[in-house]
Amino acid sequence: IGAVRNLNVHEHISMELFNQHGITTPGGAVAFSPEEAKEAYVKMGSPDELVLKAQVLSGGRGLGTFKNGFKGGVHMISSPEQAEEYSSQMLGQELVTKQNPKGILCNRVYLMEKMNIQNEMYLSLLMDRGYGGPVMVGSPAGGTSIEDVAASNPELIFKEPIDITVGLTPEIANRMASNLGLAEGSDAHAKAVTLMSNLYSMFLSCDCTQVEINPLAETS
């Protein structure tokens, strides 16, 4: 008999936690009804485009299908009316994904700022029994299923065990930033090292067992 931890947070909550710990994220707003989604689009300045994302605890949302036949849990939208229309097809419906073939209820959506991304990487921290402590996992191939990357290109997965009595060292962070494909001495490399430090602080202060950024994006 042992303790079981099943606390998983929605994407919009994780964004708030990231921001509280100095990790930059795209702007966003959560909505619980189609009307709120329409209002959120306007409050975000009525941009040319936003990303509308179903808030369900499952991977593979973009390729999923709702049980009402509406395809995709992630959409590009270009007007307040479209935000209302699309969210009306998502809210209160079950999204079937590869991870959750039985379907999982969507009771909130997240409107997120569209970013001009020039490079997608992967970064995570997790408690690993095999290593007896935290492990940082990174890859220059982000924006897709990391399990698929590990299966097809295992040489693109980098792991750095962290001595919890010492913490994340500059050497580990610098090595991981380089393994992500960022040029040593560049502004992007330095920012990645700072982000890793902030992420590790969040990992400890929030008592996480796993935290993942996919994609970790370099913007233009």
CA 94 distance to own-chain centroid: 21
Residue 5: predicted pLDDT: 61
Residue 7: predicted pLDDT: 73
* Each residue's pLDDT tens digit, 132-184: 999 999 999 998 888 899 999 999 999 999 999 999 999 999 999 999 999 99
* Each residue's pLDDT tens digit, 188-217: 999 999 999 999 999 999 999 999 999 999
Residue 35: predicted pLDDT: 98
Average pLDDT, the chain: 95
Residue 8: predicted pLDDT: 87
Alpha-carbon distance values, 70 to 54, 90, 98, 120 (Å): 12, 8, 16, 28
C-alpha span between 84 and 35 (Å, rounded): 6
Q: Residue 61 has what DSSP assignment?
A: -
Beta strands in the chain (DSSP E): 28-31, 50-54, 65-66, 74-77, 93-96, 104-106, 109-113, 117-128, 133-139, 158-161, 210-219
C-alpha span between 156 and 148 (Å, rounded): 11
Structure tokens at 21: 């710990």
Residue 1: predicted pLDDT: 64
Residue 120 pLDDT greater than 90, yes or no: yes
Structure tokens at 33: 């009804």
Q: How confident is the model at residue 6 (pLDDT cuts 50, 70, 90)?
A: low
C-alpha span between 160 and 136 (Å, rounded): 5
Q: How confident is the model at residue 60 (pLDDT cuts 50, 70, 90)?
A: confident
Kindly report the pTM of this predicted structure.
0.87
C-alpha span between 56 and 47 (Å, rounded): 25
C-alpha span between 29 and 36 (Å, rounded): 10
* Each residue's pLDDT tens digit, 65-78: 999 999 999 999 99
